Amino acid sequence: MTELSKMKCEACHADAPKVTDEELGELVRMIPDWGVEVRDGIMQLERVYKFKNFKLALAFTNKVAELAEKEFHHPGILTEWGKVTVTWWSHSIKGLHRNDFIMAAKTDQLLD
Ligand SMILES: C[C@H](O)[C@H](O)[C@H]1CNC2=NC(N)=NC(=O)C2=N1
């Protein structure tokens, strides 16, 4: 299977399929540093990135924002002193699409 971070997001429509339980099991193993959260019934991927200070946290935040605009798929981002929490889910289907796993893998690549 192609590495997630090398894949492209597909346009996500309201009738796009959520990942199945089986796909979820496979895909989470490909992004081991990410957790699965459920908020208001919406399944989400979440990771907390640690930094030495706020300036570095903000710089990473801006990189994530650029990535989101490039792929036209946008996360929740909480930027704090020394920490950035990134949360991916697909608004249009109120859950997880393959796109969210691709974007989580691409987010990790921003650290390189
Ligand atoms: C209006 C709607 O949010 C937009 O069309 C796009 C932009 N970015 C998006 N980002 C995410 N995470 N999910 C979406 O469904 C989505 N849709």
**Domain residue extents for the chain:** 18-109
CATH topology of domain 18-109: Gyrase A; domain 2 (3.30.1360)
The pLDDT averaged over each successive group of 10 residues in the chain (112 residues) is 83 87 97 98 98 98 97 97 98 96 97 87
Residue length, the chain?
A: 112
Specify the residue with its C-alpha closest to ligand 1, atom 6: 73
Which pLDDT score is estimated for 112? 80
Ligand 1 probe mutation, 72, 92, 93, most atoms within 8 A of CB: 92
Which pLDDT score is estimated for 1? 47
What pTM was computed for the model?
A: 0.95
SS (H, E, C) the chain: CCCHHHCCCCCCCCCCCCCCHHHHHHHHHHCCCCEEEEECCEEEEEEEEECCCHHHHHHHHHHHHHHHHHHCCCCEEEEECCEEEEEECEHHHCECCHHHHHHHHHHHHCCC
Q: 52 alpha carbon to ligand 1 midpoint, in Å?
A: 31
